[in-house]
Amino acid sequence: MQEDAQRIAELRRLIDEHNYRYYTLDAPTASDAEYDRLFAELLDLEARHPELASEDSPSRRVGGPPVAAFTQVVHRVAMLSLENAFTESDILAFEERIRRFLNQSADITYVIEPKLDGLAVELVYRDGRLIQGSTRGDGQTGEDITEQLRTVKSIPLRLLQPVDGLFEVRGEVYMENAGLIRLNEQQLRAGRQPFANPRNAAAGSLRQLDPAITASRPLKFFAYGVAAPAETGVTGQYELLSWLAGLGLPVNRHTRFCPTIAEVVAGFADFAALRHTLPYEIDGMVVKVDSFQLQERLGNKIRAPRWAIACKFPAKQETTRLLAIDFQVGRTGAITPVAILEPVSVGGVMVSRATLHNQDELQRKDLRIGDTVLVQRAGDVIPEIVMAIPENRTGTETPVEMPTLCPACGQPLTRPENEAVTRCQNLHCTAQRLQGLIHFTSKAGLDIDGLGRKNVEQLVETGLISDIVDIFTLSQDALEQLDGWGAKSAENVLAAIREKARPPLGRFLAALGIRYIGEISAATLETHFSSLAELAAAEREQLLEIEGIGDQAATSVVEFFRSERGQHLLQRLTEIGVEPIRQASATDNLPLAGMVILFTGGLATLSRDEAKKLVRENGGQVATSVTQKTTHVVAGDKAGSKIRKAQEFGKQILSEEQFLSLIASR
């Protein structure tokens, strides 16, 4: 149990880091294949240990945060991600889960569609005219790229047949392979970096602030769905695609209707063969339950619908030589080995580096400098080393050893018991401080405009900043003296810093880089504490009562604010007037806001999953046991001992009918 809990924590950390690098920095350090395996392992462990569930787990997230340069758009209906499948057995297990959830043995029909390697977008039409377009963003909020999308010629500005009111179409913007080749030729002639793959080219083209640049790029669009199928009048996905085509929206002609799961499996093999003949990249196949009625019954998990799944193709692989290992120091002191590779083209991308994560991976893969290694990628720029090929060894290869001293500060390294990561424990380590400051100012932190990685590195090297507080005390004169700076750039950065003097409390907590506190757990803490000082005074037991805050996160928060560094930070922030502010919760006005509800016994009209879904959709939280935090207990047939405990705790006990009335009456 303890070993699994530690592995879950490590997986969450790794996945959060990959998400940050992929979505925020556009500099991924793992291939799709590696990311998918880590994610699948996390989902498996969390399924086996529901008691270790956490709201800050990456399994609860979709995509990445919207880019600050664009106006943000809130999706009326969330744009969710998809869970992954890789094999025939995964596809069969998908149907088994559906049948079990629906308690249905009758035939279920499906639609299969090519999974394009592009960028998901939403198009909003009003009375048949395009009025807004946005990216998926984090699923709830995306970037307004209306003017950029208007330049994509395959997107109709007016539908052939008007649809009354608002009508939201979901689809994928992509670039064909030939278009990417032409675009990269232009990039090289202009002395600019070529795009790594069609997806990056499509995403980069749509995120141009100047729509004229987007217009010059060979982008195309396929529609694959709508936000509210019930409003269309059609009954299923296959019929919907035909209906969308009738409105003038392009749909993929390789989409198929599959009466059985056996035909879905056969379709996966067909699409795998088809991918090499298509003019655009596909990295898999999407399977959807055809019936909208069944889709509605199945509903969604936190980050993905139950009625759809993405079947991923095997990653592409190449061999190259391992030239060296570079050991990098992260903001939490983690020492990460990075493989330096002899450049090789993998799936059309020149690759020269790959992250190896930790010492265990080095040993498990028995890597040696000079080895021939198998490298794979499935869309990312930086791949993974799958394995060494010992048959190619000549005897000149040298084993890789983890350093015993920090590469940055020279202090001894330690590997905490039961952890896979070797760490530098020196809190004054220059590399840790630098990485922490880079994180604080980045888009994953406070997103301070003008303080990107290079500028932060310069400020640290010149001694202008050494901790967070120093950022807020920078002066115009000091900045103007730096190479590459002038009065205007210094003025702009200081104005951006002043704008962040009263940041949202949750955003500030995430920016601090406290170990085990990511964006989700930081947002959770914001809903329970009105100020940074109140959180700093909280006891560990108080934090553990909050759903989604586990033992490691609670301990880490307490240790941070009890430390000399944390105390000094609080004092200095107060002195210079930096005051993080709690924001109102989006769920405050929902019917079950503030309620923590436990279900016990069998329900007559709802499955347990459907009941829990109702609670979350209406602003409440679901409890798994009766605690002081529990506010209501819904008792069904054969409720058992939990009712007695609820009575002992003085909790309000509801019938299923009363629970449903509670939602309907508000």
Rounded Cα gap, residues 343 and 293, in angstroms: 51
Residue 1 pLDDT > 80, yes or no? Answer: no
Same domain for 182 and 296? yes
Could you tell me the CA-to-CA distances from 120 to 98, 132, 225, 314, 541 in Å, in that order?
Answer: 25, 14, 11, 22, 42
Rounded Cα gap, residues 135 and 173, in angstroms: 10
Average pLDDT over residues 575-586: 82
Q: Is 256 exposed, middle or buried (0-12, 13-18, 19+ CB in 10 A)?
A: middle
Same domain for 205 and 250? yes
Task: Pick the closest to residue 651 from 629, 621, 666 (CA basis).
Answer: 629
Average pLDDT over residues 556-574: 92
Catalytic residue among 115, 312, 316, 642: 115
Rounded Cα gap, residues 170 and 136, in angstroms: 9
Same domain for 290 and 177? yes
Rounded Cα gap, residues 358 and 331, in angstroms: 15
Q: Which residue has the higher pLDDT, 6 or 170?
A: 170
Could you tell me the CA-to-CA distances from 552 to 47, 58, 414, 418 in Å, in that order?
Answer: 19, 16, 19, 14
Give the pLDDT score at 33: 66
Same domain for 10 and 148? no
CATH code (residue 365)? 2.40.50.140
Percent pLDDT > 90 in the chain is 45
Domain assignment present for 146? yes
Same domain for 606 and 660? yes
Give the pLDDT score at 28: 57
* Residues 79 and 169: beta-carbon distance below 8 Å: no
Q: Domain boundary at 380, 399, 418, which?
A: 399
Give the pLDDT score at 298: 94
Rounded Cα gap, residues 480 and 464, in angstroms: 12
Same domain for 28 and 171? no
SS (H, E, C) 522-543: HHHHHCCCCCHHHHHCCCHHHH
CATH code (residue 32)? 1.10.287.610
Percent pLDDT > 70 in the chain is 93
Instruction: Please indicate, yes or no, whether the overall pTM of this predicted structure exceeds 0.85.
Output: no
Give the pLDDT score at 587: 59
* Residues 340 and 321: beta-carbon distance below 8 Å: no
Residue 66 pLDDT > 60, yes or no? Answer: no
pLDDT band (50, 70, 90) for residue 420: confident
Same domain for 344 and 300? no
Least confident of 178-182, 552-556, 568-572, 617-621: 617-621
Residue 502 pLDDT > 50, yes or no? Answer: yes
Give the pLDDT score at 392: 85
Place of tokens 């922490």: 436
Domain assignment present for 336? yes
Q: Total domain count for the chain?
A: 6
Same domain for 472 and 346? no
Residue 267 pLDDT > 70, yes or no? Answer: yes
Per-chain mean pLDDT for the chain: 86
pLDDT (tens digit, 9 = 90+) per residue, 352-368? Answer: 988 887 778 888 788 99
Average pLDDT over residues 101-105: 87
Domain assignment present for 252? yes
* Residues 341 and 352: beta-carbon distance below 8 Å: yes
Beta-strand relationship, 316-329 and 335-346: antiparallel
Residue 63 pLDDT > 60, yes or no? Answer: no
**Sheet strands (E) in 12-91:** 72-74, 84-85
Average pLDDT over residues 49-67: 64
- 296: part of which helix (H) or strand (E)? helix 292-298
pLDDT band (50, 70, 90) for residue 417: confident
Give the pLDDT score at 30: 63
Domain assignment present for 69? no
Helix (H, G, I), strand (E, B) or coil at 448: coil
pLDDT (tens digit, 9 = 90+) per residue, 145-177? Answer: 998 998 898 898 889 888 999 999 999 999 998
Average pLDDT over residues 422-434: 89
* Residues 268 and 285: beta-carbon distance below 8 Å: yes
Give the pLDDT score at 380: 44
SS (H, E, C) 453-517: HHHHHHHHHCCCCCCHHHHCCCCHHHHHCCCCCCHHHHHHHHHHHHHCCCCEHHHHHHHHCCCCC
Per the annotation, the verdict on 115 as an active-site residue is yes
Residue 379 pLDDT > 90, yes or no? Answer: no
pLDDT band (50, 70, 90) for residue 19: low
CATH code (residue 530)? 1.10.150.20
Neighbours of 424 (CB within 10 A): 25
Same domain for 479 and 392? no
* Domain with 366 in it: 316-399
Domain assignment present for 454? yes
Q: Domain boundary at 472, 499, 526, which?
A: 499
Neighbours of 4 (CB within 10 A): 13
Domain assignment present for 479? yes
Average pLDDT over residues 629-651: 82
Selection from 177-191, 285-299, 572-586 with the highest mean pLDDT: 285-299
Give the pLDDT score at 21: 59
Residue 234 pLDDT > 90, yes or no? Answer: yes
Domain assignment present for 291? yes
SS (H, E, C) 580-635: CECCCCCCCCCCCCCCEEEEECECCCCCHHHHHHHHHHCCCEEECCCCCCCCEEEE
Give the pLDDT score at 416: 80
Same domain for 237 and 290? yes
Residue 547 pLDDT > 90, yes or no? Answer: no
Q: Is 189 exposed, middle or buried (0-12, 13-18, 19+ CB in 10 A)?
A: exposed
Q: Domain boundary at 499, 533, 553, which?
A: 499
Same domain for 260 and 338? no
Beta-strand relationship, 84-85 and 308-312: parallel
- C-alpha angle with apex 477: 471 to 479, nearest 5 degrees? 50
Domain assignment present for 425? no
Same domain for 120 and 227? yes
The DSSP annotation for 303-367 comes to SSBTTEEEEEPPPEEEEEEEEEEEEEE-TTSBEEEEEEEEEEEETTEEEEEEE--SHHHHHHHT-
Q: Which residue has the higher pLDDT, 54 or 77?
A: 77
